[in-house]
Amino acid sequence: MFRALFRTDARRNEKTIGLRAGIAGGRAPGAILGMLTPDFARYSLALFHEGRPVFLSEKEGLRPLVECIRACRGRFRGCELHDRAIGLAAAKLVVASEGLVTRIVTRRASARAVALLAKHAVPLTAGEVVPVLLNRDRTGPCLMEQKASATEDPREFLREIFAFFS
């Protein structure tokens, strides 16, 4: 279940924020100026605009991010995303979201996601960086990571994922 918490287009903020790329080391999110502390006991994914939650989900996997982008893209810009795990698939969706997300906080990120987000100047704070996100059985790479690896262009990947989840 997801909840979109926005009200009307009048609440939209077109202001963009210039932020530098990279991982904020081992510092807690609250130690970084203006960054919110995630509460993954309450949600698996949350999107914040100007410090207020505009989207929350308790679902697992990539689906909550896809639903978030569908519900919020074009309505908000410069948001902070909290997601339990950010792999290459999620990173490509963030890059293709056209400024919706400009900062990410996560427990775990894959090395390829870190590199892609740094290339596109999206700051990321991660509790740990792993070589690749694994599937639920931990027998190999996550299916969505495999799909993301097969598509170079983030916008094309966004179209493929929207079709996959529709």
pLDDT at 153 over 90: yes
* Reported pTM: 0.80
Does domain 41-164 match CATH 3.40.140.30?
yes
> Both tokens of residue 45?
């994914």
Average pLDDT on 95-100 reads 96
Higher pLDDT, 75 or 29: 75
Whole-angstrom CA distances from 67 to 11, 22, 27, 34, 127 are 20, 26, 30, 26, 24
pLDDT for position 125: 96
Round to whole Å and give the CA distance between 147 and 42. 29
Map out the domains of the chain as residue ranges: 41-164
DSSP 85: E
User: Tens of pLDDT along 39-92?
Assistant: 999 999 999 999 999 999 999 999 999 999 999 999 999 999 999 999 999 999
Query: Does 26 have pLDDT greater than 70?
Result: no
**Confidence band (pLDDT; 50, 70, 90) for 34?**
low
C-alpha span between 100 and 72 (Å, rounded): 7
